[in-house]
A and B are shown apart, each in its own frame.
Chain A
Amino acid sequence: MNDTLTRSTAAEPAGLALPGRTVIRIGPVSAAVPARGVAVTLVALLGAVALAVVSVCHGDFPITPPAVWEVLTGGGTRIERHIVLNLRLPRVLCALLVGAALAVAGALTQTFARNPLASPDVLGVTNGAAVGAVAAIVLGGAVGAYGVPLAALGGAAISATLIYLLAWRRGIDGYRLVLIGLGVGEILGGITSWLLIRADLVDATRATIWITGSLAGREWAHVRPLAAALAVLLPLAMAASVALRVLQFREDTARALGLRLQSAQLLVVALAAALAAAAVAAAGPIEFVAFLVPQVALRLCGGSRPPLLASALLGALLVVGADLAAQIVIAPKELPVGLLTAMIGTPYLLWLLLRRSRRTSG
Chain B
Amino acid sequence: MTSTPDLALRSGRRRRVVGLLGLLLLAVVAVLLSLGLGAQTLHPGEVWRVLLSADGSDASALVWELRAPRTVLGVAVGLALGVAGALIQGHTRNPIADPGLLGVSAGASFAVVVAIAVFGVDSFGGYIWFAFAGALVTSVVVFAVGSGGRNGPTPVTLALAGMAIGALLFSFTSSILVTSPETLNVFRFWVVGSLAGRDLDTAWQVIPFIAVGLVLAAANAPALNTLGLGEDVARALGQSVPLARVVGVAAIMLLTGAATAACGPIGFVGLVVPHLARALTGPDHRWLLPFAGLLGVVAVLLADVAGRLVARPAEVQTGIVLAVAGAPFFIWLVRRVRLVQL
A and B pair up? yes
Q: Pick the most buried of A183, A191, A197, A343: most chain B CB atoms within 10 A of its CB.
A: A183
CB within 8 Å of B: which A202-234 residues: 202, 204-205, 208-209, 211-212
User: In the complex the two chains form, is B145's CB within 8 Å of A212's CB?
Assistant: no
User: Do residues B163 and A208 form an inter-chain contact, with CB atoms below 8 A?
Assistant: no
Residues in B neighbouring A115, C-beta threshold 8 A: 96
Which chain A residue has the least Cβ–Cβ distance from B158? A353
Shortest distance from the beta carbon of A8 to any chain B beta carbon, whole Å: 31
Within the complex, the shortest CB–CB distance from A48 to chain B, in Å, comes to 22
**Once the chains are docked, how many angstroms separate the CA of A258 from the CA of B154?**
35
Chain B minimum-CB-distance residue to A177: B334
- Select from chain A the residue with minimum beta-carbon distance to B147: A357
Q: Is B267 in the interface zone, CB < 8 Å from A?
A: yes
- Chain A residues contacting B268 (CB-CB under 8 Å) are 186
Contact of A346 among B165, B177, B323, B330 (CB under 8 A): B165
| Any B CB within 8 A of the CB of A246 | no
Q: Which A residues touch B209, using CB under 8 A? A: none
Please measure, in the bound complex, the distance between the C-alpha atom of A358 and the C-alpha atom of B146, giving whole angstroms: 11
Q: Is the CB–CB distance between B175 and A212 below 8 Å? A: yes
Q: Does B41 contact A (CB under 8 A)?
A: no
Cross-chain contact A339 with B167 (CB below 8 angstroms): no
User: What 1/0 flags go to B137-161 for Cβ under 8 Å of A?
Assistant: 0000000011011110010110111
- Decide yes or no: A190 and B161 within 8 Å by CB, A338-B171, A339-B172, A342-B170 being known contacts: no
In Å, the complex CA distance between A341 and B174 comes to 13
Residue of A nearest to B159 (CB): A117
> Smallest CB–CB gap between A215 and chain B, Å?
13
State whether B327 touches A186 (Cβ < 8 A): yes
- Decide if B327 touches A187 in the complex (CB within 8 Å): yes
Contact A208 B154 (CB under 8 A): no
Among residues of A, the one whose C-beta sits closest to the C-beta of B329 is A183
A116 touching B188, Cβ below 8 Å: no
A271 to chain B, nearest CB (A): 22
Interchain CB contact under 8 A, A180 and B149: no
Instruction: Establish whether residues A201 and B324, one from each chain, have CB atoms under 8 Å apart when the complex forms.
Output: no
Once the chains are docked, how many angstroms separate the CA of A179 from the CA of B148? 29
Nearest B residue (CB) for A349? B164
The reply to whether B267 and A189 contact each other, CB–CB distance below 8 Å, is yes
Interface membership of A178, Cβ < 8 A: yes
- Asked if residues A343 and B168 are in contact (CB atoms below 8 Å), the reply is yes
Segment touching A, from B16-24, B50-58, B178-186: B178-186
Q: Is the CB of A190 within 8 A of B184?
A: no
A183 touching B161 by the CB < 8 A rule? no
Is the C-beta of A82 less than 8 angstroms from some C-beta in chain B? Answer: no
CB distance from B108 to the nearest CB of A (A): 16
Contact A182–B188 (Cβ < 8 Å): no
Query: Please, how many angstroms separate the alpha-carbon atoms of A357 and B156 in the complex?
Result: 10
Could you tell me if A353 and B171 are in contact, using CB atoms closer than 8 angstroms? no
Q: Is A184 an interface residue (CB 8 A)?
A: yes
**Inter-chain contact B96/A182, CB cutoff 8 Å:** yes
Residues of chain B contacted by A196 (CB below 8 angstroms): 188
Contact A362 B334 (CB under 8 A): no
Residues from chain B with a CB closer than 8 A to the CB of A204 are 181, 184-185, 188
User: Contacts A184-B327, A336-B178 given: A346-B184 contact, CB under 8 Å?
Assistant: no
* Interface bracket on B: 35 or more
Q: Are A117 and B171 in contact (CB under 8 A)?
A: no
Q: Is the CB of B167 within 8 A of A182?
A: no
CB of A11 within 8 Å of the partner chain:
no
A79 to B269, CA, bound (A): 57
A340's closest neighbor in chain B, by CB?
B171
B95 within 8 A of A: yes
Inter-chain CA distance A184–B174, complex, in Å, is 23
A187, A361, A362: the one contacting B323 at CB < 8 Å is A187
Distance of A339 Cα from B169 Cα, bound (Å): 9
Q: Are B145 and A116 in contact (CB under 8 A)?
A: no
Instruction: State whether the Cβ of A33 lies closer than 8 Å to any Cβ in chain B.
Output: no
A201 near B181 with CB under 8 A, answer yes
In the complex, which of the residues A193, A292, A342 contacts B171, with contact meaning CB atoms closer than 8 Å?
A: A342
Contact call A353/B160, Cβ cutoff below 8 A: yes
Given known A201-B185, A204-B188, A291-B167, contact A116–B160 (CB-CB < 8 A): yes
- Asked if B224 is an interface residue, CB under 8 A from chain A, the answer is no
Do B271 and A182 touch (CB < 8 A)?
Answer: yes
B218 interface residue (CB < 8 Å to A): no
User: Is the C-beta of B10 less than 8 angstroms from some C-beta in chain A?
Assistant: no
B320 within 8 A of A: yes
Chain A residues near B316 (CB-CB < 8 A):
194
Q: Distance (Å) between the CB of A191 and the closest chain B CB?
A: 7
- Residue of B151, B317, B323, B330 contacting most chain A CB atoms (<10 Å): B323
Query: A178-B96, A357-B149 known; A345 and B164 CB under 8 Å?
Result: yes
A–B Cβ pairs within 8 angstroms, 19 of them: A117-B163, A179-B334, A180-B335, A183-B334, A184-B331, A190-B320, A193-B192, A196-B188, A204-B185, A208-B177, A336-B171, A338-B174, A339-B175, A341-B171, A342-B171, A350-B164, A353-B145, A353-B146, A357-B157
Beyond A183-B334, A343-B171, A357-B154, 14 additional pairs, beta carbon < 8 A: A117-B160, A186-B327, A187-B328, A189-B323, A193-B317, A193-B319, A197-B189, A205-B184, A295-B160, A342-B170, A349-B164, A353-B146, A353-B157, A361-B149
For the complex of A and B, the 7 pairs showing the least CB-CB separation, nearest first, are A357-B149, A190-B323, A354-B148, A361-B149, A361-B150, A342-B171, A339-B171
